[in-house]
Amino acid sequence: MSMKENISPRWRELHGSKNWENLLEPLDPSLRQEIVKYGEFAQAAYDSFNFDTNSKYCGSNYYRKDDLFDKLHLTRHGYKVTKYIYAMSDIIMPQLLETSLADSAWSKESNWMGYVAVSTDDESERLGRRDIVVAWRGTIAPAEWVQNVKIRLTPLGEGNAKVERGFLSVYTTKGKSSKYNKKSASQQVMKELKKLVSSYKEKGEEVSLTITGHSLGGALALLNAHEAATTFANDVPVSAITFAGPRVGNIAFRDKLDRIGVKVLRVVNKPDMVPKVPGFGLMDAMINNKLGRSIAQNLHWTYAHVGVELEVNISNSPFVKHEFNIAGFHSLEVYIHLVDGYHGSKSEFRKDAKRDLALINKSTGMLIEEVKIPENWRQLSNKGLVYNEYGRWVEPTRVEDDLPSPPSESSDDDSSVDSSTEGASQENEMN
């Protein structure tokens, strides 16, 4: 593992205060470490998620929040989880929602969607501030939700900013009959952020908010960053570091994020298809042209990327297969590997990159055969089944402390979502 540097004198610069100017080409070593860290926080949202459609806990987190980083070997980062986030929508993961119709399922409507974490005292001293992180989970396969993405844009509060309807649905949908989503993901996360920011500000600490996610999680990170920056109004610097994120909104949404001070660093693997949607391939070139932008602003299907792009390319790594592989190009572990080995756009893969290569094959077969690591090696022992006292192999019943627990929200606190998303939430309830 690489040594952790004290970055307190330059934390604002690394957090994007100057849009990472002169830090990406070549890639600043300290920034590389930070990007890898946030990538691993996003990866944790996959590694702890129960994808097993045979399990009555399908769609939940395997672990309690107090155990999450310990179980996933991430305690070295010096953060602790404070909150789990749940979401409900028909585009999160269709087959999981079908499974959840079973009477024995832990939830009939909701999926675990991410978490909030905060840096410990020691880590905060190294970072130069108290860092609050929100990590959002994506979906299993890129094609799974790309097929569900609707080209229709829907308004985001007042003004001309619009975002993709399905992404906003995941972020704002709630249901009165739901155990886990009486409050939307938006309301859950914002209540926790307000509590944490207030607590640390009262102690006189500097506080930052870093929101991360992969794929669909990258889209949710931008919606979350927009709401947080609107809520805290320049009192807390807000940055989003996303991986394989799609376009989320229109030109006005991009301009609004810039205007309210949200700093966005998008990590993109060149052959990955997900960052190219919604929209079409020439869209970015079109809206960056004066005439094209004028035309695009009046089209209902015009999407724009936001922030600064760090483009990596799988073809630069000597350790992964380069043949066409949609899922492999999109894999977050592949992304993190490419960032760890990235020095510059015209440079070779770093020879002193230290991150474990075996992690790439955790849920893919992307490593070259010469590395001798099995494909898709990460799984629960015996796929989660245990041999019980009656001599049968069964899914263990979780003890009470390990059961998925709904957010402890008071019924009268519905004000945590700001006006920019409240209307969308009400619309989703009606629909």
Mean pLDDT of 291-303: 58
What span, in angstroms and rounded, lies between the C-alpha atoms of 417 and 271?
36
- The end-to-end CA distance of the chain, in Å, is 49
pLDDT beyond 60 at 296: no
Tokens (6 digits) for 218? 């990258």
Is 161 within 8 Å of 153 (Cβ atoms)? no
Dihedral sign, CA of 340, 241, 33, 343?
Answer: positive
pLDDT beyond 50 at 412: no
Mean pLDDT of 238-259: 95
The DSSP line for 188-207 is HHHHHHHHHHHHHHHTT--E
pLDDT of the residue at 148: 54
Is 343 within 8 Å of 332 (Cβ atoms)? no
What span, in angstroms and rounded, lies between the C-alpha atoms of 108 and 101?
5
pLDDT of the residue at 110: 85
- Provide the annotated active-site residues: 215, 272, 330
Dihedral sign, CA of 19, 22, 27, 28?
Answer: negative
Look up tokens 């949609």; give the residue. Answer: 326
What span, in angstroms and rounded, lies between the C-alpha atoms of 284 and 100?
39
Q: What are the residues whose beta carbons fall under 8 Å from the beta carbon of 31, sequence distance 6 or more?
A: 14, 20, 23, 24
Q: Is 35 exposed, middle or buried (0-12, 13-18, 19+ CB in 10 A)?
A: buried
Give per-residue pLDDT as tens, 270-279. Answer: 999 999 888 6
* Architecture field, domain 19-312+379-430: 3-Layer(aba) Sandwich (3.40)
pLDDT of the residue at 414: 45
Is 375 within 8 Å of 333 (Cβ atoms)? no
Mean pLDDT of 317-345: 96
pLDDT band at 161 (very low <50, low <70, confident <90, very high): very high
Comparison of pLDDT for 201 and 158, the residue scoring more: 201
CA angle 341, 346, 347 (to 5 degrees): 40
Tokens (6 digits) for 332? 């977050």
Which residues make beta-bridge pairs with 85? 114
3-state secondary structure labels for all residues of 92-148: CCHHHHHHCCCCCCCCCCCEEEEEEEEECHHHHHHHCCEEEEEEECCCCCHHHHHCC
